[in-house]
Structure 1
Amino acid sequence: MRCGRIIVRGIVQGVGFRPFVYAAAVRFGIAGTVINHGSEVEITACGDRFDAFCREVSAGPKMAVVDSVTVEPLPEEAVVGDGFSILPSADGARTGFIPADIATCDACLADIMNPASRYYGYWATSCTDCGPRYSIIHAVPYDRERTAMDVFPPCGDCSAEYESPQSRRHHAQTIACSSCGPKLSLLTASGGEVATDDPIRTAAELLDAGHIVAVRGVGGYHICCIEEEAGRLKQLLGRPHQSLAVMMRPESLKEYVVPPTDAEREMLKGPVHPIMILDKVDPVSHTELSELHNLGVMLPYTGLHHLLFGHLNHPLLVMTSANAPGTPMITETSYISERMGTVAEYILSHDREIVNRCDDSVVRDGYIIRLSRGLAPLRTAMDLGDRQILGVGPELNANATIYKGGFVVTSPHIGNIRNPPTVAYLEETIAKLCSLTGAKPEIIAHDLHPQFLSTRLAHALAEESGAVLCPVQHHCAHIASVTTEEVVGIAIDGVGYGTDATIWGGEILTGSPADGYVRTGHLEQVLMPGGDLATKFPERMLYGILPDDATLSLLAERGWDAVSLRVLAQTVTKRFNSPATTSTGRVLDAAAALLGVCRERTYDGEPSMVLEAYAARGTPQPLEVRIASGSGGADVLLTSEILRDVRGRLACGMGTADAAATIQTALAKGIAELAVRSAERTGIRTAALSGGVAINRSIRETILAELARAEIPCLINPQYPFGDGCISCGQVVTAGVLAQEGKI
Structure 2
Amino acid sequence: MRCGRIIVRGIVQGVGFRPFVYAAAVRFGIAGTVINHGSEVEITACGDRFDEFCREVSAGPKMSVIDSVTVEPFPETYVTEPGFSILPSTDGARTGFIPADIATCDSCLADIMNPASRYYGYWATSCTDCGPRYSIIRAVPYDRERTSMEMFPPCDDCCADYQNPTNRRHHAQTIACSNCGPKLSLLTAAGVPVATDDPIRATAELLDAGHIVAVRGVGGYHICCIEEEASRLKQLLGRPHQSLAVMMKPESLSEYVLPMTASEEEMLKGPVHPIMILDKIDPAAHTELSELHNLGVMLPYTGLHHLLFRHLQHPLLVMTSANAPGTPMITETSYISERMGNVAEFILSHDREIVNRCDDSVMRDGYIIRLSRGLAPLRTAMDLGEHHILGVGPELNANATIYKEGFMVTSPHIGNIRNPATVAYLEETIEKLTSLTGAKPEIIAHDLHPQFLSTRLAHALAEEWGAVLCPVQHHRAHIASVTTEEVVGIAIDGVGYGDDATIWGGEILTGSPAEGYVRTGHLEQVLMPGGDLATKFPERMLYGILPDEETISLLAGRGWDDMSLRVLAQQTKKRFNSPATTSTGRILDAAAALLGICRERTYDGEPSMVLEAYAARGTPQPLAARIVKGSDGADVLMTSDILREVREMIGRGVSVSDTAATIQTTLATGIAALAIRSAERTGITTAALSGGVAINRSIRETILAELSAAGISCVTNPRYPFGDGCISCGQVVTAGILVKEGKL
- Tell me which interval the TM-score lies in, with the shorter structure as reference length: over 0.9
Aligned to 2:661: 661
Is the contact made by 1:597 and 1:611 (CA closer than 8 Å) also made in structure 2?
Answer: yes
How far off is 1:276 after superposition?
0.2
Q: Given the alignment of the two structures, is residue 342 of structure 1 paired with residue 356 of structure 2, yes or no? A: no
Q: Which amino acid aligns with 1:586?
A: R
Aligned to 2:296: 296
CA distance in 1, matches of 2:392, 2:75: 49
Q: Secondary structure at the match of 2:632?
A: helix
Is the contact made by 1:39 and 1:140 (CA closer than 8 Å) also made in structure 2?
Answer: no
Aligned to 2:372: 372
Is the contact made by 1:236 and 1:342 (CA closer than 8 Å) also made in structure 2?
Answer: yes
- Matched ranges for 1:147-546 at <5 A: 147-546=147-546
Q: Which amino acid aligns with 1:502?
A: T
CA distance in 1, matches of 2:609, 2:620: 17
CA distance in 1, matches of 2:77, 2:276: 56
Aligned to 1:58: 58
How far off is 1:543 after superposition?
0.3
Q: Secondary structure at the match of 1:384?
A: coil
CA distance in 1, matches of 2:705, 2:727: 26
How far off is 1:73 after superposition?
1.2
CA distance in 2, matches of 1:240, 1:87: 56
Q: Which amino acid aligns with 1:568?
A: L
Aligned to 1:81: 81
CA distance in 1, matches of 2:347, 2:604: 28
CA distance in 2, matches of 1:713, 1:302: 41
CA distance in 2, matches of 1:572, 1:216: 48
Is the contact made by 1:31 and 1:46 (CA closer than 8 Å) also made in structure 2?
Answer: yes
How far off is 1:171 after superposition?
0.5
Q: Which amino acid aligns with 1:134?
A: Y
CA distance in 2, matches of 1:97, 1:213: 34
Q: Which amino acid aligns with 1:52?
A: E
Is the contact made by 1:274 and 1:373 (CA closer than 8 Å) also made in structure 2?
Answer: yes
Alpha-carbon deviations, 1:89-148, whole Å to 9, x = none?
111111210000000000000000000000000000000000000000000000000011
CA distance in 2, matches of 1:214, 1:208: 14
CA distance in 1, matches of 2:261, 2:446: 38
CA distance in 2, matches of 1:487, 1:347: 51
Q: Secondary structure at the match of 2:103?
A: coil
Q: Secondary structure at the match of 1:390?
A: strand
- Matched ranges for 1:29-40 at <5 A: 29-40=29-40
CA distance in 1, matches of 2:712, 2:537: 38
CA distance in 2, matches of 1:711, 1:338: 59
Alpha-carbon deviations, 1:668-706, whole Å to 9, x = none?
000000000000011111000000000000000000000
Aligned to 1:610: 610
CA RMSD of aligned residues (A): 0.5
Aligned to 2:67: 67
Q: Secondary structure at the match of 1:363?
A: strand
How far off is 1:38 after superposition?
1.5
Q: Secondary structure at the match of 1:687?
A: strand
Is the contact made by 1:361 and 1:370 (CA closer than 8 Å) also made in structure 2?
Answer: yes
How far off is 1:478 after superposition?
0.1
Aligned to 1:584: 584
- Matched ranges for 1:99-118 at <5 A: 99-118=99-118
CA distance in 1, matches of 2:157, 2:467: 51
CA distance in 2, matches of 1:301, 1:11: 22
CA distance in 2, matches of 1:160, 1:343: 44
CA distance in 1, matches of 2:436, 2:258: 41
Alpha-carbon deviations, 1:196-217, whole Å to 9, x = none?
0000000000000000000000
Is the contact made by 1:274 and 1:361 (CA closer than 8 Å) also made in structure 2?
Answer: yes
Q: Secondary structure at the match of 1:631?
A: coil
Q: Given the alignment of the two structures, is residue 702 of structure 1 paired with residue 708 of structure 2, yes or no? A: no
How far off is 1:154 after superposition?
0.4
CA distance in 2, matches of 1:73, 1:279: 57
CA distance in 2, matches of 1:340, 1:424: 21
Q: Secondary structure at the match of 1:359?
A: coil
CA distance in 2, matches of 1:9, 1:478: 30
- Matched ranges for 1:119-130 at <5 A: 119-130=119-130
How far off is 1:78 after superposition?
1.4
CA distance in 2, matches of 1:573, 1:160: 78
Q: Secondary structure at the match of 2:451?
A: coil
Alpha-carbon deviations, 1:475-494, whole Å to 9, x = none?
00000000000000000000
Is the contact made by 1:482 and 1:715 (CA closer than 8 Å) also made in structure 2?
Answer: yes
CA distance in 2, matches of 1:164, 1:3: 26
Aligned to 1:640: 640
Alpha-carbon deviations, 1:53-86, whole Å to 9, x = none?
1111000000000000111111222112121000
Q: Runs (4+) of structure 1 moved beyond 4 Å? A: none
CA distance in 2, matches of 1:590, 1:729: 31
Is the contact made by 1:187 and 1:348 (CA closer than 8 Å) also made in structure 2?
Answer: yes
Structure 1 unaligned residues grouped into runs of 5+ = none
Q: Secondary structure at the match of 1:228?
A: helix
Q: Secondary structure at the match of 2:621?
A: coil
Q: Which amino acid aligns with 1:88?
A: P
Alpha-carbon deviations, 1:371-402, whole Å to 9, x = none?
00000000011011111100000000000000
How far off is 1:631 after superposition?
2.2
Is the contact made by 1:33 and 1:86 (CA closer than 8 Å) also made in structure 2?
Answer: yes
Q: Which amino acid aligns with 1:501?
A: A
Moved more, 313-322 or 66-75: 66-75
CA distance in 1, matches of 2:260, 2:179: 40
CA distance in 1, matches of 2:251, 2:69: 43
CA distance in 1, matches of 2:512, 2:263: 33
Q: Secondary structure at the match of 1:444?
A: strand
Aligned to 1:722: 722
CA distance in 2, matches of 1:368, 1:342: 33
Q: Secondary structure at the match of 2:19?
A: helix
How far off is 1:2 after superposition?
1.0
Q: Secondary structure at the match of 2:435?
A: helix
CA distance in 1, matches of 2:328, 2:650: 43
Aligned to 1:597: 597
Is the contact made by 1:626 and 1:638 (CA closer than 8 Å) also made in structure 2?
Answer: yes
Q: Secondary structure at the match of 2:670?
A: helix
CA distance in 1, matches of 2:715, 2:473: 20
CA distance in 1, matches of 2:21, 2:400: 34
Aligned positions, number: 744
CA distance in 2, matches of 1:93, 1:404: 11
CA distance in 2, matches of 1:435, 1:55: 33
Moved more, 628-637 or 10-19: 628-637
Aligned to 2:549: 549
Q: Secondary structure at the match of 1:455?
A: helix
Q: Which amino acid aligns with 2:459?
A: H
CA distance in 2, matches of 1:338, 1:685: 57
Alpha-carbon deviations, 1:622-641, whole Å to 9, x = none?
00110000023200000000
Q: Secondary structure at the match of 1:555?
A: helix
Structure 2 unaligned residues grouped into runs of 5+ = none
Alpha-carbon deviations, 1:410-463, whole Å to 9, x = none?
000000000001000000000000011000011000000000000000000000
CA distance in 2, matches of 1:525, 1:81: 75
Q: Secondary structure at the match of 1:408?
A: strand
Q: Secondary structure at the match of 1:632?
A: coil
Q: Secondary structure at the match of 1:675?
A: helix
